Chains A and B, each alone.
Chain A
């Protein structure tokens, strides 16, 4: 299988502190992994490095077989999507928030609408289309952020504690739904989570991080 992410000898130093130290890491196409570890272990930062949102201090990051140093970041980023740990809603309607990434990819109007309604339905957001996104509850905003990423049909998706703000029922429902979607769409997935149950539902294996390093890997069955 082809590697969609490959990282060699990565270090990241921010403000004099070593935040990440990863000698080798790779991810195959269609593979799904979870990242776990205590607060401050470097999970979110590692996600940013993989998503080409954070430049490493040293080492190579290759995405889709291309070294990010000598490739158009924009083009690479448009093949991926990120759900942030603290997703921000833009000061627009829910509809317009979902539209953004599609607009940047020049998706035509008809197709855009179809996708938006499809995902509104899937994320139980249909009743909120016209709402100002800033007025949403934490859980609603979280679902908009998920829809905003999935709607782009990325080859790789990065999810940073995507179910953290959801109540138990909604969480279970969405884990099932999103798990299926990711499998069906053959989307390579990296998910940060503190919950083994979530990890097991979505990931093939779990990487444990501590102090900026990967300390072990467990396989789920």
Chain B
């Protein structure tokens, strides 16, 4: 009990005093997961819409791959992204292993299937009458897709939140491709794991509280956008 209390106090002190070390970790956590989510949205919403709106051979296979991808173990992603980014690997020339860029890539790989699958589901369940009406109004393919994305913005924002939730909480991939280097690739989850392994449970608890706080604030902002739009 005392440990938890110590952790809470440490978290509050870090927040109030704006502890530069912790602010740095918070900022990087936000930047990496934010960029990865953005990337996965840029990939996932168009791909998910295309999958939802078109019929072609092999479509169902792609859909099942995307659905399976939602459950990709982060450690597996971390391993494969490392292999590719490794100095001798196919993308080794990029020279980004153990940098935040590598973490963004790994996290985007984790989040993209989530965004693709949920986008697909959200767009597919739009009333077919809506699509018929857009066709009759003279929408071309792009105009149709855009109108449907707007129509399903509630569900799509949920997809974005799910994607963000998936990456801000993962540790395996970021650890493997980032390396948890202080001041460089250390984020809340990797820092928490490290502190636990060192036996600093109070610090770990403080990190975990700050991580949840960060995740909550971002999600609350997205929720406000989602619900605000709806209540007008």
Hey, which bits of chain A sit against chain B, CB under 8 A?
51, 53, 74, 77-78, 80-82, 84, 86-88, 90-92, 100-101, 103-105, 132, 148, 152
Contacts and interface: CB of A to CB of B under 8 A. Distances in A.
User: Size band of the B side of the interface?
Assistant: 10 to 19
Contact of B137 (A86, A92, A101, A132): A101
A41 to B, nearest CB: 20
A90 B147 contact: yes
B141 to A, nearest CB: 9
Contacts of A82: 133, 136
A74 B127 CA distance: 21
A88 B127 contact: yes
Nearest to A75: B138
Contacts of A105: 138
Interface of B: 127, 129-130, 132-140, 143, 147, 150-151, 232
Contact of B132 (A80, A84, A104): A84
Contacts of A81: 136-137
Given A90-B147, A91-B151, A100-B147, A74 B138 contact: yes
Contacts of A92: 150
Contact of B133 (A74, A80, A84, A152): A84
A51 B150 CA distance: 26
Contacts of A51: 136
SS class, residues of chain B in contact with chain A: helix
A104 B151 CA distance: 16
A92 B135 CA distance: 17
* 6 closest A-B pairs by CB: A78-B138, A101-B137, A82-B136, A104-B138, A88-B129, A77-B138
15 contacts: A51-B136, A74-B138, A74-B140, A84-B136, A86-B129, A87-B133, A88-B127, A88-B130, A90-B147, A90-B150, A90-B151, A91-B150, A92-B150, A104-B140, A132-B232
B53 to A, nearest CB: 15
A53 B132 contact: yes
B133 A88 contact: yes
Contacts of A148: 137
B135 A77 contact: yes
Q: Which of A74, A81, A105 has the most CB of B within 10 A?
A: A74
B140 A84 contact: no
A148 B136 CA distance: 11
A81 B139 CA distance: 12
Nearest to B229: A91
A81 B135 CA distance: 10
Nearest to B153: A91
B229 to A, nearest CB: 9
A93 to B, nearest CB: 8
A90 B143 CA distance: 14
Given A53-B136, A74-B140, A132-B232, 7 more contacts: A53-B132, A81-B136, A84-B129, A87-B133, A88-B127, A88-B133, A100-B134
B78 to A, nearest CB: 40
Nearest to A78: B138
Contacts of A152: 137-138
A87 B140 CA distance: 20
Nearest to A48: B132
Contacts of B134: 100
A148 B133 CA distance: 11
Most chain A CB neighbours (cut-off 10 Å) among B134, B135, B138, B143: B138
Select the residue from A74, A78, A91, A105 with max chain B CB neighbours within 10 A: A91
A84 B133 CA distance: 8
Contacts of B138: 74, 77-78, 101, 104-105, 152
Contacts of A104: 137-140, 143
Nearest to B154: A91
Contacts of B135: 53, 77
A189 B143 CA distance: 27
